[in-house]
Structure 1
Amino acid sequence: MATSLSQVFRDTPLHPKHIIPLDFDTVHELPDSHAWIQTDDFSCAYQIRTPTTIPVIDLRAPNVVELMGNACQKWGMFQVTNHDIPSSLVDDVVEHARRLFALPAERKLKALRSPSGATGYGVARISPFFSKLMWHEGFTIMGSAGEHAKQLWPHHYEDFWYYRFLLLLLKYGSR
């Protein structure tokens, strides 16, 4: 029987320290909890001997699946071209995401992911696997994020940019 990702998250709740991001606006010195120290074990992995770029994959290439597989194995990421998503839509999504992350921390915390949740504001779910906390904040969206919009703007949330951001994401997801 297959287990859903949501069920896995419910079965393995996180401690709040692994959910609440560092407030970058109020930190004046590096907290020990976030001080990642480079060790000799990994020093050679970070030395780039020649300039490199991440793989760029044309979605119209006949061997696109093979190209993506290789990029994932060697890089863990890639950029796609010929995806038919208008650059204006991508620009709109980026602009609205910037507005979301520019909100004050106390406002973003209204949409904080629950300890057993999969969606909302917080650090990456993989953070407990590391000895130090991550320099990261994110907003995970699966399906509709309308409830998060209501948490951030309880009155007339559809008048705010976040609701328009949700509509953009739905439009983006339908492409």
Structure 2
Amino acid sequence: MNRDYFLQTKRIGFSKWTDADLPLARQLWGDPDVTRLICASGRFTPQEIADRLVREIDHDRRFSVQYWPVFELNGGGFMGCCGLRPYKSGERAYELGFHLRKRYWGMGYATEGAEAVIRYAFHVLKAETLYAGHHPENAGSEKVLKKLGFRYVGTEFYEPTGLEHPLYEMYPTHFTKGEM
């Protein structure tokens, strides 16, 4: 897949969602293995997938962030998304998130991508605080967030699942991966 990347790691290229990406959005958010822990029903409808894509594009237009689509640099395979969205009303506060297609689970991509996004948030966007959360049953995401250096601060109600999710935060001084 031929994409322009605004951010890269050793194995991952970060692009931006466009209106033409509905087929990719369907591959990701149409997969119940991906969505089972990110919405109450465990599945997104076709309309919810389209709405999610529109929301990501709008976040980029309004806030210069989104859960960016990510691709393998070696081969160009579509991996999923990893990025930021505004956190509540905080001007320099963002929420980190990642949704990877199942074939990319357990290979270190979530950690690698999230590290790049964290550096981008603190270096380029001058973020003051990053937040992240995960479904209470998602042990893999919990492990990634702790490995990255996020600190548990309590729980927060997450409307899409209707559950209290563990909540973590990170400040620039807490990020120890890579150079600050």
If the TM-score is normalised by the length of the shorter chain, which range does it land in?
Answer: under 0.3
**Larger radius of gyration between Structure 1 and Structure 2:** 1
More helix per residue = 1
More strand per residue = 2
Q: Which has the higher contact order (CA 8 A, sep 6+)?
A: 1
